[in-house]
Structure formats: C-alpha cells, structure tokens
Amino acid sequence: MNLQRKIEKIEQDIDVGIKFKSANRLRNLINQYPNEIFIWERLAELYYESGFYDAAGKYWIFTPPTEDRIKKCVDIYLKSVNYSGTQVLRDITFRGDKSKLPEYAKTKLLELEANSRLKSNHVPTFKPWKNERKNPGEKHKPTFRDRLLILGVVSVLLLIVFCLFVGFITVVSWLF
C-alpha cells in the first residue's frame, strides 16, 4: 500500500472517531517516512484537535511557527521537557536524512543538537528505520530456521496420519 493510500485510510478512521489508532498509525508512518514533514504536521494537528497541546508541540517542532497555536504548543512542549535538546531528540527519535528536510527543520534539528551537546555533552542518534524488504513485491527467502519449522510441522502431521492409519487397521483386525 502506498503512502497516499495509507494517509487516506488514516483520514477515514479519524473522520469516524478512531483517533487513537490513527495516531499510532501516523507515528508508524513517521518511522517509515521520517523526512515527510506533512505526516508530522498531521499528527500534531490530530493531537491539537484532541487537546494534547504538548504532544502537538512535539510533532510541530519542525514546522515554522506561522500560527500562534503552533508557537504555543511548541512552547508548552519545550517547557514540559525543561528546554532540554537531549530530551527533545530522544522524544522525536528522528531517523531520517537531515539533508532532505526543509530548511526550517534542518535549522531546528541543528539547534537541538547544539543544545544537547552544550548541556549534556551528548547527542542522541538513532539508526534509520529499515524496511525488511526494499521491494514490496520481493518474496521472503526462507531461512534455515523457517525450513526446520516447516519440516517439524509436516513431520508431526505425517505422524498423526500414520497413527490414525495404524489405529484404523488395529480396530478393523479386532472386529474381524
């Protein structure tokens, strides 16, 4: 399923009131597509509509504060983490490519890293989220463990069939 179809499905769920599941799906999409700021903004909007201003601020952190509500939510979030760049970086767990971010987001990420380095002498880094299969149509190549599991299941099934057969023959031999 492509990104646009996933977003449409999430929007349908939001429209019928399935907001908690939609928020989870949006967070999963952020892990898969961290450079797509519109996903961050949609999740922030969902939290804002639900009254979770600090959570909205967390996901609006890379959005230019063009509206008072964005600025207010980001301020609430930053205050909740004591303006700690380290804590913000841990919370957002950005796993994308910084060079692909919009200019404001790049600047904000660099500011957070500088703050973290200054206050704690540490900048949290996260490994990029990897999709197991790069090509969705690519088939899964079974491992030795997979083959062993299949062999075990087939062996148990054959043993059951054999026992049923022997039992049937024994019952028939008793009757005649």
Sequence spans of domains, the chain: 3-120, 142-176
Smallest Cα–Cα separation from 29: which of 80, 96, 77? 96
Neighbours of 168 (CB within 10 A): 10
CA distances from residue 152 to 143, 148, 155, 166 in whole angstroms, order as listed: 14, 6, 5, 21
Mark 75-103 as b/e (b = at least 16 C-beta within 10 Å): ebbbebbeebbbbbbebbebbbeeeebee
CATH topology of domain 3-120: 1.25.40
pLDDT by position in tens, the chain (length 176) = 688 899 999 999 999 999 999 999 999 999 889 889 999 999 999 999 999 999 999 999 999 999 999 999 999 999 999 999 889 998 988 888 888 889 999 999 889 999 989 888 888 877 776 654 455 555 667 888 889 999 999 999 999 999 999 999 999 898 88
Residue 35 contacts residue 101 (beta carbons within 8 Å): yes
Q: Determine the pLDDT at residue 157.
A: 96
